[in-house]
Amino acid sequence: MITFAQAKNAEDLQQILDLQSLNCEDNLSPAEITEQGFLTARHSLSLLEEMSQKYKHVLAKDDGKVIGYALVMLKEFSDKLPVLTPLINVVEELTYKDVPLNTATYFIMGQVCVAKEYRGQNVFSGLYNHLRHQMQPHFDYVVTGVAQRNTRSVHAHYKVGFKSILKFRSDTGENWDIILWDWM
């Protein structure tokens, strides 16, 4: 039975890293990248611990094993993951509903992942529902960026309730879709 909870200890965080490693773009075939999606950023155990000090990461577990996760990343961590820094810099310059995002209460979806064998079983939406319950009292929005070629992720985010607020091309040539989920 799949359950959803907050990450509680180093073992939970290590299982996040193990699942992350299996799904990073550099560990996948071109066909897997196209069909299943991929992760861009890699975290360290110490960074995951630091990021979860104020708000806990959300986990999906089956029989004690992490089979999905959603990472909470506050804006102040943008410099800790260089691959995400340009994205956050762009977000900080945007306006949503006539409110500059740099003055709004939002957090970054640091990364979301579901184990391959659990995809299509509503784990993704379960992670986001649990995350929303945990974070909505503190934030008006959650914002993230998804590589446009990661169509599985783009569609899954739209299905949950995110909407595009900007499409842009990064200095590395990647086309990104900055998406926001409005909780107000």
In the chain, the number of structural domains is 1
Domain residues for the domain of 166 are: 2-182
CB of 160 within 8 A of CB of 122?
no
CATH number at residue 155: 3.40.630.30
pLDDT averaged per 10 residues in sequence order, the chain, 184 residues: 96 98 95 94 94 96 97 89 82 94 93 96 97 97 95 96 94 91 95
What b/e sequence results for 122-133 when a residue is b if at least 16 CB atoms lie within 10 Å of its CB, and e otherwise?
Answer: ebbebbbebbbe
pLDDT (0 to 100) of residue 164: 97
